[in-house]
Structure 1
Amino acid sequence: MACFIHPTNTNYLYGSSQYGSLYFSNDGGTNFNWTSGDISESSEWTTPYMLDPGDPSILYAAAGNVWRSSDHGAAWSKISNFPINAALSQPNISSALAVAPSNSNYLYCAKRFYYSYGEPSALWVTTNGGNSWMDRSAGLPDSLYLTYIAVDGDAPQTAWVTASGFSAGAKVFKTMDAGQNWSNISMNLPNLPVNCVVHDLDAPNNPVYIGMDAGVYYTNDTMNSWSLYAADLPNVVVSDLEIHRLGEKLLAATFGRGIWSVDLKDATGTGVNGMALRNAEMSISPNPNGGDFSLELGNLAFQTARLEVVDVMGRVLYGQELRFNSHEFRAKISTGLPAGMYFVRVVKGNLSLSQRMLVQ
């Protein structure tokens, strides 16, 4: 089931249960309230929910249609009008949803297939935030369950789709034009269901990891095959993968054997360690300030980092994930911190840039 934490306010927690029930807490989990009542459609056992990567105040859900909320799920608006399945009295249920990290106008929604109704699986794409959707199913299997979608962090037209089932050679598909064309990149993968896929934005050569019914596999743009990347991992279903950017770990959630972690792998096999931060430049202004300041970064050679403000005791009092679309970055930061001495730091892997800041 979907669960996630707001990236800039850790008091905001979301958790779901079967068939789309969503719960929200604004007090760090002390209390939860049901918050999916306005979605007037049936949904999958594991309903796709996700926060907008570029604007975490926006929440998306995929039932029969795609829905959007700007108030933590208290109210929902429908942003698609997919074809109706007469047997269901609504569109076919969605099996996967993804929002492009670099441009949230790009959304990808997969539909499950129904053998008994003669309804094929499908994939729909919008490039204008849901004002119009295009059927981009051609080139994808129409009788397999589409399990997961990952979108390139820099290029919203590039995405990967995975498929379940036991159809040899039909496991992973890639598009570089928002679904107009699909390439089958299953290559040498074993004939097992693929449950999830994740793209490592910060490593060279576009590494991609997938979780299967047994094992994790890895490939990148320089390879013509998949490599097993599951040393010491139990022979068990891998149901989800996440990249922990700050710790530079790949996390694998399994069915019945807990969560496992491993170092990320780049094209040379040495791991991504944030060394590119050494050449970056950082400035904050004004300084002193009243808790609000402008952050400027230059000479960036990576796409993500974490901003932290710590006190003289080393306690992190403010944190925010940063995402960069160019070699320079500028943003207004509001911390709400009281008067005192602090350190502002940008963290990438085991390296950081830091400047002292006085709040008056």
Structure 2
Amino acid sequence: MSLRVTCIAVHPDDHDKVWVSLGGFFAGQKVYYSSNGGDSWTNLTGSLPNLPILSLVVDDNGNLYAGGDDGIFFRGAGWADWKPFYNGIPRVPVTDLILTSNNYIFASTFGRGVWRSEQYSDCPTTLDISGTQNGQKFFEASGTVNTTGKSTAGLGTQVFYRAGDKVDLKDGFRASNESEVKVYNGPCNSGIPTFFRKNNEGNTTLANYRKAVLPMENSMEFPYAHIGNWTRKGNTIQFKIDILQEGETSLILSNREGTNLRTLWSGTTIGINKIPINIPELNDQQCTVLLFHNNVLVHWQDLNSKVLEQTK
């Protein structure tokens, strides 16, 4: 099966150096590099998630940025792999990237506007983080990360810390309910953490879909459906979904690794449907409900501790 080229990037000073990105859901086939104008190619996919790569841009030093269905990733010249590059830019499809001479990178996104960030800077030995850290952030240091940062915005906040020696959560560090903060040890520029990837390995739900929006709060109105309040009775969670538009609509239960656990409901009839989920089925793992309309992922919503702890 042929793959679609989504972007071509050429080195500003050496036009024989060319990078191409590929769409589709073919694991291990995301980015290729040629040093001889396309006569031969080297696969640079590394640990990129199995999602389409939509855009590429390269700087004067051969450092490469890749924008895809799950945000931006960075690969320095001569590196063996990629690392996440967010700096507050949301994890949404990135359709185009531009580098400027004053050290900024601009990213256009699908449904979330245009964002600006400083370009990549080298991994420090020690990194001190303070203040409010909301949105999508990725911090790393070759030695120690010290943080008194506060992640308090709730759902949609994802902050990741990686250090070669240790990550020290100091007095003042806070993470509110529904904010996601993950910490682990590992060297700088050592690839994309497994928990960071959203791919379709073992997950049929993502094979033909792309994200359209970020997670949103419970009981919100969408153009396609209205998801009602969760209720709990015994060991069963029940919620209502009011289908507002004709078309094939389905609701999938997935874990945070992107594995499809079960199709909760599918249909084409406009109106209200009641959907139960057995709590033992969740098996103490954090799960997500995915809403698809005509094979497009239009919304997802975490099953968090608030839901599981509601009174009977």
Shorter-chain-normalised TM-score: which range?
Answer: 0.3 to 0.5
Tell me the TM-score normalized by structure 2. 0.38
Tell me the TM-score normalized by structure 1. 0.33
Q: Which has the higher contact order (CA 8 A, sep 6+)?
A: 2
